[in-house]
Amino acid sequence: MDAGGVVVKPGITASSDAWPPTFTARQTSGTTVAIEFSEPVSGTARISDWAVAEGAAARAIQSVRAGEHESAEGVSERAASASLSAARTITLTHGALSSTASSPSVSYTRPAASVTDAIADAAGNYMPTMAVTAAALDMPADTTPPAFTARTAGTGLVMVTFDEPVSGGVAASQWAVGGTAATSIRVLRDSTAASATLSGATSLYLVTGPMAYDARPTVTFTPPATPTLADAAGNAVAAATVTAADGTAPIVTLASTESPSEVTVTFSEAVSGPTAAGEWR
């Protein structure tokens, strides 16, 4: 410590630079935050010296890297520390934020005085314990409505899959399969009770009348005048019609004897591919 009270590295003479480095923080993804120092720093950055919190919820720091990065590295590449030499930025990988719009707090705790390779500037001024609020991830607003695809999941069931999670009220009368309104809606294929409200769902099942095993019916969604089914950004699912893929496996519907040594097998739909005698009993 020099006469002015500034903490400096052992062996370095205090200079006119009496100002320790500081930092700002900016989210670069939902799991990474870039730390920018006020001046070049050297030393060792350790995950144990940093903390990220979203409100009262801590987001565990999983690694630290020199430089600015926009995504988390692979698990096998993660490190608990990084050696810095005149560095201006580091990136911390942490537990996922609940929202890309979050501005978490990022704090640094200066190691004990016995740790001589703590982060410091060229004049030997150690970075002090401090905390900042990270700038939120700069992402363009989501204005794209969810889309959906469909495939048959049985002779009386169609699975609708959304390209992102959706929530809100939905009614069977808003869906038509092959031009006929769906009988009911299920969140799970094997559920017995129909559901009219979705919460972060990526699929639903439409109960329909009997269909052929190889059916590829049109599936039409007609939202109400005031849409209720939307993504997290509030974009409503728009009216659309798609053609369902055939997702129903063929079955054997008839086996009849033609002679004492011959059986004719009839499938529920046309099939192709090799088969062998050992597959049949």
Concatenated DSSP letters for 109-128?
-PPPTT-TTSSEETT-BBPP
Proportion of the chain above pLDDT 90, given as a percent = 62
In one-letter notation, the amino acid at residue 66 is A
Beta-carbon neighbour count of residue 124 at 10 Å?
Answer: 20
| Tens digits of residue pLDDT in 180-218 | 999 999 988 887 667 778 888 899 999 999 988 788 899
The reply to whether 111 and 153 lie within a common domain is no
Concatenated DSSP letters for 145-159?
PP-EEEEEEETTEEE
CATH number of residue 27's parent domain? 2.60.40.1220
Check pLDDT > 60 for residue 222.
Answer: yes
Q: Torsions phi, psi of 196, nearest 5?
A: -115, 0
The reply to whether 116 and 187 lie within a common domain is no
pLDDT for res 232: 85
In a domain, 249, yes or no: no
**Domain final residue pick, 133, 157, 174:** 133
**Domain final residue pick, 133, 166, 183:** 133
| Tens digits of residue pLDDT in 100-122 | 789 999 999 999 999 999 999 99
pLDDT for res 89: 98
Structural domain including 218 reads 148-243
Q: What does the angle CA 167 – CA 170 – CA 176 come to, to the nearest 5 degrees? A: 130
> In the 8-state DSSP scheme, what is residue 187?
S
Number of domains in the chain: 2
| Tens digits of residue pLDDT in 14-41 | 556 889 999 999 999 999 999 999 999 9
107 vs 34, 53, 140, CA distance in Å?
13, 9, 27
**Are the beta carbons of 154 and 46 closer than 8 angstroms?**
no
pLDDT for res 162: 96
Query: Whose structure tokens read 């810095």?
Result: 84
The reply to whether 174 and 128 lie within a common domain is no
Torsion of Cα atoms, 209 then 211 then 216 then 218, to 10°: -20
**Are the beta carbons of 106 and 134 closer than 8 angstroms?**
yes
Q: Is 35 exposed, middle or buried (0-12, 13-18, 19+ CB in 10 A)?
A: buried
The reply to whether 101 and 189 lie within a common domain is no
Cross-strand pairs, 223: none
Query: Whose structure tokens read 């309104």?
Result: 181
Residue 237 neighbours by CB under 8 Å, 6+ apart: 145, 146, 148, 162, 166, 221, 223, 227, 229, 230
**Are the beta carbons of 170 and 264 closer than 8 angstroms?**
no
In one-letter notation, the amino acid at residue 34 is A
Beta-carbon neighbour count of residue 31 at 10 Å?
Answer: 17
In a domain, 217, yes or no: yes
Closest CA to 173 of 163, 162, 157, 184: 184
Report CA torsion sign: 252, 214, 165, 94: positive
| Tens digits of residue pLDDT in 43-82 | 999 999 999 999 999 999 999 999 999 999 988 899 999 9
CATH number of residue 232's parent domain? 2.60.40
